[in-house]
Each structure stands twice: as C-alpha cells, then as structure tokens.
C-alpha cells in the first residue's frame, strides 16, 4: 500500500476510491506534493490551519484553475453568449467575500429556514410514499435528487423548473470537476448559458414586481446603502446556491443510507432512535454520515505568498487542495476512522462543510434535510437492502464524491 505514487491522485480510479491513498500518505506526509506547484493537504489540523489563514490560502482560485485548464475556443465562444463568471462567495476573498456573504446570510434567515421545514417534511413524506408503493427503486433518482432540488429550487424561485435545475446543476458540477470529454464540455457550456438567460429573465421580473423568495431578496438587497447587485453577481450567487445545494446533499443522503445498509448494527440503533423520537441520536447520525461520506471531498486554495505547511515549503502561486474527506478520517482526530459509528462522540467536529469564513452557508438546510429524511424513512420503511447484484460505484470527480445510483429494495413498515 505504501508505494502508491503521489501523482496517482489524478488517476480516475484513485479519485473514485481514494481511501488507500489517504491511508498510505497521511502518516507519511500530510502535505503531499502532487506535481509542480500543486499540493494536497490531508490532515485535520493542517486543513484547519489553512482555512484560518485566508491571507495566505486564497479562495480566489477560479481564474487560476481556468488558466491551468484553459477553456478551448469552442467552449469560450459558447460562454460568450452569456454573462461573465464573477467571483462572489466561494471564489472570493475579503473584503469582496464579506459583502456578498452578508447579503446571502440575510436571505438564509432563521425565519426562512423555519418556513422551509414544514414544506420539507411534506416533500419527504411524498417521496417516501411514492417509493413505498413500489417496494424498490433507485434511491438516488427517487429521493436523493428530488429532495434537495425541490428545496433549493423553491428558495431561488424555480419550483416549476425541477428537471432543468438538476440538469444545469450537473453541468456546473461537471465543469468544476473537469474530468469530462470535449463533447460534454461543449454541452455543459450550453447549459451554463441557458441557465443564465433563464435566471436573467426572472431577475427582470422581480425588478418589476417583488416576490417572496431568495432571488427577489437578492435583486432588492442593499446593505449599508451600497449599490444593488449587478446581474452577473446575482447569477453567480444563484449558480453557487443551486450547485452547492444539490449534488452534495444528494450524495450525503444516499451515502448515509448505504452506510446504514452495510452496517446492520448501526441501522438497528438508528431505527430505535427514529422510533423513540430521539432527535439527538438522529442528529448525530447526520453528523457521522457527513464525516464519513464528505461529499465535498476537497476544495482548492491559491497560495498568495511563500509559506510552509506541516514543514513543507509551498511557493507563492501554488495550488493547494484541502482534502476535507481525508481530514475527516484522520486517526489523530477520529479513532478507528473508517468505522461508521452513529454514536461517535466528536462526529460534529468534522470538516465536511469546511471551516472559517467560507464554511458552508447551506449547512443548516442540508443538516435539516438529512435529519427529516432519515427519521421519516426509518419510521415508514424497513428491511432496506441493495438490489440483487448491484455493486455501488462512484464516478471520478476531483472535488465532489457521491453515488449516482443506489438501487434498493425495502418494505413498508406494518
């Protein structure tokens, strides 16, 4: 195991199943030099350290990444029919980041999250009842995708566009992961432009008539008498909310159910907790799923000045990937880290949502979706198992990791 080459991180098979790689490299070198000017950070403490040093480890990585993996002319020509990508939340540093984060924080107020919960339970129960009729199905297709898509679509005023929201979201994710053939790159660029024109029309509608949703709040947002947001800025925020809110939560929901199926002792504890209305254990189950699944497996940082991390010299201009998924299985932090334990005492300290100023803005929303989903699933259905002959697999993506299909069988509870 110990001779896994550092550069094999780019191997699609390793990226799809990276755990041997983490186990081999974490004790040897928590900061792995991947290639010229590119590093991987694997340990919990060093990921935390880097997320806290925003003056050195910058989130302004979009331009560098697109420079490193330049758009080809055909892709650029398609994108030119839309709006330019501007840095707002994920890919901005202070003070720009601070301004946008304030605006979106306001829109994700407690009042809105509370209003969502009732709606969420209705959606969850509806999806479960539709599955229960059949006794089998693809959990990703029938539950994992539609729940977060419905929740985020209603927040951004696209509840009537569920299929399109998913299609656009997939296109952005594929562009981010960049392990796609040229044909798909062209298709993704067309999806991006279609998304932008669609949302731009909705922005114009809301400029004329205010509505009660997050998009309208953003269109009319003003903090400290600052200028209103421009179209390209609103498009960037909307795109991030849509993308970040979909694929990651789908992966967490499906990955968590698979963990429960594969660990019958933990499944029994979770069912007992759901039956007893033991919210604390269900919430801890959610945290343990997030820790062990870590759907956002890694996130980039661009290094602004010569520095060192864990004793490794990192030059200005380097790209560093904080590998949250490896940090979440760091044995120094989580004893027996590969074991799925819904009663793990420090599960909630995981880095699945990152840490510091960029910590996930949707964390409360996705935690709530997962808690409602598992408690309703476990009280309404039973005897979950994988469909005969199915072996779960994960498509390669440099940043996100999640199941794209999970065929299961189950019974309705008596």
Q: Residue numbers of the site for ligand HEM (CB under 6 A)?
A: 59, 89-90, 101, 152, 240-241, 244-245, 248-249, 252, 295-296, 299, 324, 352-354, 358, 360-362, 365-366
Nearest to 361 by CA among 244, 193, 235, 188: 244
Q: Residue with the closest Cβ to ligand HEM?
A: 362
Q: Give the three-state DSSP class for 69.
A: coil
8 A C-beta contact, residue 134 and residue 407: no
Give me 141's structure tokens: 């297709």
Q: Dihedral of CA 250/117/127/194: which sign?
A: negative
8 A C-beta contact, residue 236 and residue 363: no
The distance of closest approach from Cβ of residue 162 to ligand HEM in the complex, given in angstroms and rounded to an integer, is 15
Give me 120's structure tokens: 């969420």
- In the chain, how many H helices and how many E strands? 17, 10
Q: Which residues contact 290 (CB under 8 A, 6 or more apart)?
A: 252, 347, 350, 352, 353, 367, 370
- Altogether, the residues listed in the chain come to a count of 414
Nearest 10 degrees: Cα torsion 65, 296, 151, 376: 170
Nearest to 372 by CA among 111, 113, 115, 123: 123
8 A C-beta contact, residue 373 and residue 128: no
With vertex at residue 116, the alpha carbon angle to CA 291 and CA 297, rounded to the nearest 5 degrees, is 20
Helix 231-262 × helix 264-276 angle, to 10°:
110
Q: Which residues contact 350 (CB under 8 A, 6 or more apart)?
A: 287, 290, 291, 294, 328
Region of 354 on the Ramachandran plot (φ > 0 left; ψ -120 to 50 alpha; else beta):
left
Burial (CB count <10 Å: 0-12, 13-18, 19+), residue 186 = middle
The distance of closest approach from Cβ of residue 229 to ligand HEM in the complex, given in angstroms and rounded to an integer, is 15
Q: Which residues contact 17 (CB under 8 A, 6 or more apart)?
A: 394
């Amino acid at each position: 195991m110990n001779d896994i080459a550092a550069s094999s991180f780019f191997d699609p098979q390793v990226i799809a199943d990276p755990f041997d790689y983490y186990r081999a490299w974490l004790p040897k070198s928590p900061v792995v030099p991947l290639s010229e000017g590119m590093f991987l950070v694997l340990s919990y403490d060093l990921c935390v350290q880097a997320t806290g040093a925003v003056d050195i480890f910058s989130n302004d990585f979009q331009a560098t990444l697109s420079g490193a993996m330049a758009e080809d002319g055909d892709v650029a020509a398609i994108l030119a029919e839309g709006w330019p990508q501007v840095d707002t939340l994920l890919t901005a540093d202070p003070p720009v980041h601070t301004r946008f984060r304030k605006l979106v924080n306001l829109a994700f107020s407690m009042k809105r999250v509370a209003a969502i919960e009732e709606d969420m339970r209705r959606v969850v129960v509806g999806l479960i009842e539709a599955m229960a009729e059949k006794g089998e199905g693809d959990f990703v297709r029938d539950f994992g995708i539609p729940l977060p898509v419905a929740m985020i679509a209603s927040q951004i005023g696209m509840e009537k566009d569920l299929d399109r929201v998913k299609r656009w979201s997939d296109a952005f994710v594929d562009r981010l992961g960049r392990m796609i053939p040229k044909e798909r790159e062209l298709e993704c660029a067309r999806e991006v432009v279609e998304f932008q024109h669609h949302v731009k029309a909705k922005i114009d509608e809301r400029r004329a008539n205010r509505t009660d949703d997050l998009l309208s709040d953003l269109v009319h947002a003003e903090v400290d008498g600052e200028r209103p947001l421009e179209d390209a800025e609103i498009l960037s925020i909307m795109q991030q909310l849509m993308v970040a809110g979909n694929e990651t939560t789908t992966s967490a929901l499906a990955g968590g159910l698979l963990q429960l199926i594969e660990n019958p002792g933990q499944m029994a504890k979770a069912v007992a907790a759901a039956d007893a209305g033991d919210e604390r254990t269900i919430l801890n189950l959610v945290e343990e799923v997030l820790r062990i699944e870590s759907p956002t497996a890694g996130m980039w940082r661009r290094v602004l000045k010569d520095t060192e991390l864990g004793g490794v010299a990192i030059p200005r201009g380097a790209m560093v990937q904080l590998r949250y998924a490896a940090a979440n299985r760091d044995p120094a932090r989580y004893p027996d880290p590969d074991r799925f334990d819904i009663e793990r005492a420090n599960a909630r300290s995981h880095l699945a949502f990152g840490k510091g100023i960029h910590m996930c803005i949707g964390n409360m929303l996705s935690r709530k979706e997962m808690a409602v989903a598992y408690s309703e699933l476990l009280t309404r259905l039973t005897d979950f198992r994988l469909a005969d002959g199915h072996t779960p697999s994960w498509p390669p993506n440099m940043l996100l990791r999640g199941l794209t299909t999970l065929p299961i069988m189950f019974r309705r509870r008596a």
